[in-house]
Structure 1
Amino acid sequence: MTVALPPEALQVGLAVDVVAFAMHAGELQVLLIERGTLPHARDWALPGGFVHPGEELDQAALRELQTETAVHLEPRHLEQFYTFGAVNRDPRGRVVSVAHLAVLPHGTVEVAAGGDTLRAVWHPAHTPPPLAFDHHAILHRALLRLQIRLEYANLALDFLPDTFTLPELQAVYEAVLNRTMDKRNFRKRLLAQGMLSPSGERRSGVGRPAQLYRRAKNIKTAAL
């Protein structure tokens, strides 16, 4: 038997918002857009928008990210992490947003305004500008989720190229956790976990060439 939805249920909008992180020059940054339309025109916000009929949520998240920021690289990691549905979160009416956390490839990912956005810019994730809607709350919860994922899903490795040094890996942890870590204890703990394997290569630089590591073959990428 088909049950008809009450009229009020048909008036709820479904949206996605994307918190896209990347490491730039040793700093954790988040991708923000300057809105070009009301409400909150000319305010900074997370990329996002309404889900199209028949569209999967992850497809909608990728579409909005690529449309509004001109990012054409696939995220190294993409997951739904929370649903935001406060009654008055959007002045246009009742809108429920499924927030997604994304990790973009290592290095400075080039971005540009697209769709109805005025600008797309990387900002320090821990000190963002004022944000539209409830996007400060979304970013805050995304940071907490990211910090948890460092510990049980090895998500830090998705911020790095295929081979990396231990100091580069420590820099990711420190940038995400927003605090410094003891070098000796960090190295000892990470190597004991078995998540890394030596690549057999070294990187030349100032002083002794640094050992390069990669993700161990028995370690999977972070699960969705």
Structure 2
Amino acid sequence: MTRSRPDHGIRVAVSTVIFSLRRESDDDEARVVLPVVRRTRDPQKGLWALPGGWVDRAENLESTASRTLAETTGLAPSYLEQLYAFGDVGRSPTRVVSIVYWALVREDVSRAAEQHNVAWFNATELPGLAFDHTAIVDYALWRLRNKVGYSRIAHGLLPDRFTLADLREVYEAILGRRLDPANFRRQVENSGTLIPTDDFRTGSHRPARLYRYNQDVELADRGPLPQ
């Protein structure tokens, strides 16, 4: 068998998909949003693209993701997860393999990181993106919607303490549909993943109990949450 020589013209890049929630007003439904960066050079100058950059020889992949994300958007999530590798031959004018990471940030964190040349769009209403970045976002959304049912991933969009209505709102935004409040409450309370606190959120409505996640329970062992 003849083995072809390695192609040293292949470059490795890292891109990151950051999901957050946004509301236009207090009365609006929350929507899943993400930041994109306007490209300032060719190829595809002027188009929006996911934040990212080239991998340095002395840098590991996650460090590259953290560095390029901070440089382009000002965001510094405490947790990054590797999503997938995208390396189709025709995805760029030169041969580029992109390692894609993703993470979630709370709304207050995302609003505090507003930067020049960065815009936040609804994840399902994106403008035309450079290269294959639209397909990357679609894949990340698919993973998010699947993972929300068997992991604590929704926690990345919530403060440490939250109401069941807050949690349901996250699920509805991710899944793109309404959930029955009574059924949702029953499923989450029976999952054993939440711990009720002694505190309540008060306001114009009936006081709502605040909960926190039970860090000692693995969600996958307790069965899926609402889908």
Calculate the TM-score normalised by the size of structure 1.
Answer: 0.88
Structure 1 stretches lacking a partner, 5+ long: 114-118
Aligned match of 2:87: 85
Aligned to 1:46: 50
- One-letter identity of the residue aligned with 1:110: A
Say which SS state the counterpart of residue 77 (structure 1) adopts: coil
Equivalent in the alignment of 1:6: 5
Q: Which amino acid aligns with 1:112?
A: Q
Tell whether 2:84 aligns with 1:69: no
Question: Is this contact kept in 1: 2:37–2:48, CA < 8 A?
Answer: yes
Show the counterpart of 1:210: 208
Contact 2:150 2:219 in 1 (8 A): no
Does the 8 A contact of 1:76 with 1:103 survive in 2?
A: no
Give the drift of 1:220.
6.4
2:103 maps to 102
Q: Shift in Å at residue 20 of structure 1?
A: 0.5
Cα pair distance change 1:144/1:97, threshold 3 Å? same
> How much has 1:89 moved relative to structure 2?
0.3
Residues 171-211 of structure 1: CA distance to partner in whole angstroms, max 9, x if unpaired? 11111111111111111111111111112100011221111
- Contact 1:81 1:99 survives alignment (8 Å): yes
Q: Quick one: distance in 1 between partners of 2:175 and 2:136? A: 17
Identify if the C-alpha distance between structure 1 residues 155 and 33 changes in structure 2 by more than 3 Å, giving closer, same or farther: same
- Provide the aligned C-alpha RMSD in A: 1.9
Deviation at 1:158, TM superposition (A): 1.3
- Specify the SS of the correspondent of 1:179: coil
Q: How does 1:139-158 map to 2 (within 5 A)?
A: 139-158=137-156
- Distance, in Å, in 1 between the alignment partners of 2:219 and 2:187 is 19
Identity of aligned residues (%): 38
What one-letter code is carried by the residue in structure 2 that aligns with 1:166?
L
CA distance in 1, matches of 2:219, 2:47: 35
Q: What is the SS of the residue equivalent to 2:162?
A: coil
Counterpart of 1:162?
Answer: 160
* Match in the other structure for 1:116: none
Q: Deviation string for 1:84-125 (max 9, x for gaps)?
A: 00001011x110001111112342242213xxxxx1111111
Distance 1:46 1:29 in 2: 13
Which amino acid counterpart does residue 168 of structure 2 have in structure 1? Q
Q: Residues of 1 paired with 2:217 and 2:184: CA distance?
A: 19
3-state secondary structure, aligned to 1:126: coil
Q: Distance in 2 between matches of 1:76 and 1:24?
A: 20
CA distance in 2, matches of 1:168, 1:128: 25
Q: Closer, same or farther in 2 for the Cα pair 1:42/1:79, shift >3 Å?
A: same
The secondary structure found in structure 2 opposite 1:167 is helix
Q: TM-score, normalised by structure 2?
A: 0.87
State the distance in 1 between where 2:68 and 2:195 align: 37
Q: How far did 1:70 drift?
A: 2.2
Q: Deviations over 1:1-22 (max 9, x none)?
A: xxxx9252x1110011100111
C-alpha distance in 2 between matches for 1:150 and 1:49: 28
Q: Does the Cα contact within 8 Å between 1:82 and 1:100 map onto a contact in 2?
A: yes
